[in-house]
Structure 1
Amino acid sequence: MLRPLAFILLAFPALCALFNDQRILRAPKSERKILTPQIDADIDQILAEFHSPGGVGIALVHRSLDSRNQRLRLCASQRHARDRRHVLGDRFQLDILAAGIGVEERESGHGGSVLGFKSQVTRFPSQDLGVAVLSNDEAFGGAIMEAIKFRLVDEYLGLEPIDWTARYRAQAEDAFKHRPQPTPRPSDPDPPFMSFSQLAGRYTNGGYGMPNLSLVSPAELSGDIDPDCTEVIEEIPTALPGIIDAAIPIFLVRWRVFGGLTHVALTHFNGDVYIENASAPFWVNVQAFTGAYAHFSKTDSGDGVGVAMQGVWGAGTGVGAPGGDTVEGKAEVWFDEM
């Protein structure tokens, strides 16, 4: 099978050069030595020609370093006629052959994750190398896998070792310092427009099912317990330790809708707004969504009650926030009371 190759002409310090030879050259692997090219500090980018079986285009080697691993980045502005811009991975090495011509080492892969199970599979086709790393660490599994993966790749390719553990630890520590902080609940919060016991019950949305909101605290507000809530309440001490604050009204929902989570706890914040319990550090079955909240309200028609979920799903890049002037109109997802 013909492997894609990329040829780069490293220019003299004051020049940007275009390599016009259309031939694809190969060299025995034993004659290559993998190096990270050194570019003169006066050069911001080097113009070169990108060769592959799919076509020829213009490529730029940028002097700027990648934020994750401090390697040079190769950006092809036009790989061939159908491509506008293509980034050839965020970590690559050049095989220095002769006259400054380099062969790109291309990385391809993908990761996957659900609660308690993480994986990362990466391939370097030109080196006949594949690396698979698995982790069950929920908090730092992604960083752990990346550090292990790149350490193995460096060893196999004979590269100068990098302290990937220290690099990813520094990133994790920086992210922790800048993590979103939960807004404290007011000392004297306003009550909702309906009593807590009246808001409890089953709600429905055509795409997300029928969550049953069980009022689990304070006990004196619970009143008559819905039979469907009895089992949820009984499993709190063993399945959800530390989640319930007996002094604050909380709705607990057994609801498998958030990609692996099993329960959602809505803690009364102020008025008709409820938030996730971001103070509970447990990841077993429950995660805290900082910035996520539920807002109870009358329906726009005025003849019913519903709850708007906000800040959980997200619409994706390029999609604007929900419009409207009402709670229902602004909802990310709206649930009607049954």
Structure 2
Amino acid sequence: MNRIRRNLLATALSGAFAAAALLCSTAAQAADLKEHSFKFASAQSPDHPFSKGGQKFAELVAAKSGGKMKAKLFAGGTLGGDAQVISSLQGGMVDATFVSPGLLSTMNKDFGIFYLPMAFNDAREADQVVDGPFGRKLLDKLPEKGLVGLAYWENGFRSITNSKRPITKWEDLQGLKMRSIQIPIFLDIYNALGANPVPLAFTELYSALESKAVDGQDNPLPTIETGRFDEVQKYLSLTRIVYDPLVVLFSKKTWDKLSADEQKILTEAAREATAYQRKVNREAEATALKSFNAKGMAVNELSAAERDRLRDKLKPVAQNYVKSLDPALVSEFQGEIAKARAATTAAK
């Protein structure tokens, strides 16, 4: 009897899934959809959480469009580095990518607000800020730059690696040649800490570390692992100076040629892929940390007292940067963090 019931249940579920698939297919056929094949660029390797998020996005686009719309992922920087890909999006030669907001701050300085040092205590605070009206307000500034912002995924808290010594206090950075993202606030952070920042594209970073052209760099843990930086760096310090969201971008030139139904599918796919990408990224952080310890990398975390000292040291950098921003924007950002922090504390 139990087997009969199981068979009946399996048949019913199979029928339900088939009906759902038929419903999605019928909805896709009824919508104003054409055949499309989008180029989705990733500077990271295929196994990086960025690229895995991109693959999930592609799967969702195909499912929602009944197979009419396809997004092909080009991983490993095959379509160029981040700056080059952004230019290609603006020109309509590449359709989609994801980048850190720092790269967008060269077009609109407001995006640099995410890099105010020590702004976020944890990733849950950041999620609430970027997923809310503040995050949307910044995305709405992109179309005038030839880009469309679809969602925020996650890069994560940036940690420092180097080949010289552990970073247990901010003074340990003095004199180190540190690769820097090519944006002003990162240069200011390293200068304030006595390091020598060297602006360098990500695609050039491994060779620069290997040849000792630079002593160290900062990136979230999954990027350090998939970039194989542990092969050429001895020390990993969990400094967590900056939390880095990830902005999913689409070419406005491509976007403007699409129907409203097609745009809706892309937007929904990017937003639905968010939870998956963040989950994969956070799991990858834990896995990477175990891997680094197992491989004998010297891993340390700043004490609470040293984090306070670091925060105090970098206050002038934050204060100087916000002078260039709209005071109302800064106030809103800080207010959203405060609300997120209160909600996070209440949930604990």
TM-score (norm 2): 0.23
Q: Which structure carries more strand by proportion? A: 1
Higher relative contact order (CA 8 A, sep 6+): 2
Q: Specify the structure having the higher radius of gyration (Cα).
A: 1
Q: Which has the higher helix share?
A: 2
